[in-house]
Structure 1
Amino acid sequence: MPCLYVVGATMFFQSWSDFFNMGGYGFYVWLAYGISFVAILALGVQSMTSKKALFKEIKREQQRKQRQQTARGSL
């Protein structure tokens, strides 16, 4: 029977099924991992969209200032 050992810890599992079952707490353990993964993924997506929106706003502001300077120069 293959044993799954965790280096530096005292726990081990007799099979992959035991590993995924986590001594009867597998549902809660894997649910926690799943929720954490989704939250981190959502945070990354939100950060990227915020960054794009911020750069778009900065570009729009720079263009507006350039148009104002051009308009003042033509007076």
Structure 2
Amino acid sequence: MQFDSFSAFIAMGGYGFYVWLSYGVSILALALLVFSSITDHKKIKQQIAQRQKREAKLRQAAELQNTQTRADISHKT
């Protein structure tokens, strides 16, 4: 180890404030990136689920309409 004591390690030869500040800012930026990615992932999954439900309802309505149309045609003949 190049430092004589732990306090010398923290001081970093007088540049400790800048060194530890840069570490702190970097860790904060990475934490925000992870948090943002997780929340965006959850939102996208919810949007996909909503879209799938909407499409399923549309398919079901279209099938029901087709069934009713066929029934109407068969009653007319």
Residue aligned with 1:13, SS: coil
Structure-2 residue corresponding to 1:66: 56
> How many residue pairs align between the two structures?
65
Tell me how far 1:63 sits from its aligned partner: 0.4
Write the distance in 2 (CA, Å) between the matches of 1:36 and 1:17: 22
Higher relative contact order (CA 8 A, sep 6+): 1
User: Sequence identity of aligned pairs in percent?
Assistant: 40
Structure-2 residue corresponding to 1:29: 19
TM, length-normalised to structure 2: 0.83
Structure-2 residue corresponding to 1:41: 31
TM, length-normalised to structure 1: 0.85
Please list every run of 5 or more consecutive structure 2 residues that lacks an aligned counterpart in the other structure: 66-77
Tell me how far 1:67 sits from its aligned partner: 0.2
Report which of the two has the higher share of strand.
1
Superposed CA offset, 1:6-29 (max 9, x none): xxxxxx000000000000000000
Superposed CA offset, 1:25-48 (max 9, x none): 000000000000000000000000
Tell me how far 1:72 sits from its aligned partner: 0.6
Write the distance in 2 (CA, Å) between the matches of 1:45 and 1:55: 16
Report which of the two has the higher share of helix.
2
Please list every run of 5 or more consecutive structure 1 residues that lacks an aligned counterpart in the other structure: 6-11
